[in-house]
A and B are shown apart, each in its own frame.
Chain A
Amino acid sequence: MIEILQWSTLAVCCAAAVARIPSALRGENRSLFYIFLLATLAILLSIDGPYVAIDSVLGGTNITNLILRFIVFAVIFFIGLRSMKAFGAHQYRRWLLGWPGMLVFGVISAVMILFFIMMDSSGSSAGLAGVARRSVRDAHLVEYYGAAGRAYPAYVSLVLLPAIAKAVASRLPVLVRVGALLLGIGGASLTVSLLFPFIPPQWSSLKFIINYGAALCFVLGLAVFWTGRVRATRVAARKSSTAQ
């Protein structure tokens, strides 16, 4: 079940990235292509098989997990940046780009790297499951490391949610509002993921659903905006051609 979710999320993400290639070549909103590309990479690295394969190439020390975390940070940062410009939420700009934003990013990254160094990270396993099983100390470190990894995406989501909620409630075209709603659900899921330590172990599949659900919502939301723009430009082109 979870495998299906993982691979279908990967497929959707990959399809979105491939679909953006022509417009990226034309130079339209290239950053969205990179967002899709990085997101595809992140999802690929979060799945067991590809993770182990790539990590063993990189030395089998689970350094891939750390790379994955920073890829996720990058994806969420760029989505945040584009959304902030798109929704005109300039008053929140400093919370992402200004010194408060940079401080949060720096502290979380430093803490995350520190926990990674402190744990005995040898032996590739996705989600560091193998490392956590090694000793109580490592289990705790993996827990803290994971929490730090979820903190930055949750932080960016919290910064964005007010502007997104405003767009959802607005009188803007339906596709804009649907796209914003999907981004909002994705952001809310990332925020909820901060509560993972409180989820009882028997519901651990809920974690996967929230994580991949958030990724799917972001990708689908961006795809909806894209569809909306393509349609809007097509309608505009048709109008101007009939006007001539």
Chain B
Amino acid sequence: MPLPAKAFQRWLQGIAPEASTADICRISGVKRTTLAQQLVRGKVAESTVVAISRAFNINPVAALATFDAYSDLAGGQLPPTAAELVSQIATMDLLRAVIARSAAAAEGTETARATPPAPQLTPAPHATSVRNWVDAIDDGELRHRVSAATGIAPQNYSAQLSANRLTPELAIATSRAAGTGLTGGLVATGMITESEAGWEPGARQAALDAMSDGELAALAGDRLQALGKTLKRQEQDHEETRTIWENLG
């Protein structure tokens, strides 16, 4: 739910009483026309608040928490679960970890398990981070509870997941319905970074290292299968489109 322009103006007054709108836009990188349009409509996007708070070195979560709709974000959040952390590791990083472990295991028989330098994980979010995150915290009934709590139709919710999107409002509603920390979904959608959400640096790597070889292989396999399906569907669509262009274009 976008934030009311009035509350936004009040918040802005609080953090930068001297700055003009032009200054704000220049510092934060928000387009002037975008901000003007949002103010005229009376609805300011959460991403605008996040960008401006970053520019003024304010934690975006704390900034959002000053608005009524996001007051739940105030105060400490539950730490992310291991499954949430792993869900925010890109598929290719998981595959790299599989290869690194198997190489280490092969060498380990001769030398005394020289731990290879862990390849740096790409920062969240990744190409399927939203769906992977929801799957990671889903107990089987989560989607039902989210749709009951927010009134969103299940197919619309699922369409957002497929597009690797989720509105901040729904992301928080999903966390709440799952009983996890409320910022997990904001990380998965790329609204805020891991550190802004209060995730320990290296938390994802630690969660990855804590997985057994079997768990890692199974997860990487699932991800690879999903990737294969998506790619195949894209290729099929592409092929169909090409046939249509060739015959009717």
Point out residues on A near B: beta carbons under 8 Å: 29, 32, 82-83, 85-88, 167, 170-173, 176, 179, 222, 225-226, 228-230, 232-233
Contact = CB atoms under 8 A, between A and B. Distances in A.
B244 interface: yes
A233 B248 CA distance: 14
Contacts of A176: 241, 244
Interface of B: prevailing SS: helix
Interface string B61-87: 000000000000000000000000000
- B237, B240, B244, B248 — most chain A CB neighbours (10 Å): B248
B244 A172 contact: yes
A82 B247 contact: yes
A228 B237 contact: no
14 contacts: A82-B247, A82-B248, A83-B247, A83-B248, A85-B247, A167-B244, A170-B237, A171-B237, A172-B241, A176-B241, A179-B244, A228-B245, A230-B249, A232-B241
B110 interface: no
Interface of B: 237, 240-241, 243-249
Contact of A85 (B237, B241, B243, B249): B243
B248 A179 contact: yes
A171 B243 CA distance: 15
Contact of A32 (B241, B243, B244, B248): B248
A60 to B, nearest CB: 39
Contacts of B249: 29, 225-226, 228-230
B237 A172 contact: yes
B249 to A, nearest CB: 3
Contacts of B240: 88, 170, 172
B30 to A, nearest CB: 29
B245 A87 contact: no
A222 B248 CA distance: 6
Given A29-B249, A230-B249, A225 B244 contact: yes
A173 B249 CA distance: 14
Contact of A173 (B241, B243, B246, B248): B241
B237 A225 contact: no
Contacts of B248: 32, 82-83, 86, 179, 222, 225-226
A123 to B, nearest CB: 41
Contacts of B244: 86-87, 167, 172, 176, 179, 225
Given A87-B243, A176-B241, A229-B249, 9 more contacts: A86-B243, A86-B247, A86-B248, A170-B240, A172-B240, A176-B244, A179-B244, A226-B248, A229-B245
A170 B234 CA distance: 12
Contacts of B246: 29, 86, 229
- B240, B245, B249 — most chain A CB neighbours (10 Å): B249
A202 B244 CA distance: 41
B104 to A, nearest CB: 36
A82 B246 CA distance: 9
A216 B143 CA distance: 46
A127 B182 CA distance: 71
Contacts of A87: 243-244
- B237, B243, B245 — most chain A CB neighbours (10 Å): B245
Contacts of A170: 237, 240
A88 B245 contact: no
A170 B239 CA distance: 13
- A167, A171, A179 — most chain B CB neighbours (10 Å): A171
A32 to B, nearest CB: 7
B165 to A, nearest CB: 16
Contacts of B241: 172-173, 176, 232
B243 A225 contact: no
A9 to B, nearest CB: 20
A233 B247 CA distance: 14
A173 B241 CA distance: 8
Contacts of B245: 225, 228-229, 232-233
A220 to B, nearest CB: 12
A227 to B, nearest CB: 8
Given A29-B249, A83-B248, A230-B249, A88 B243 contact: yes
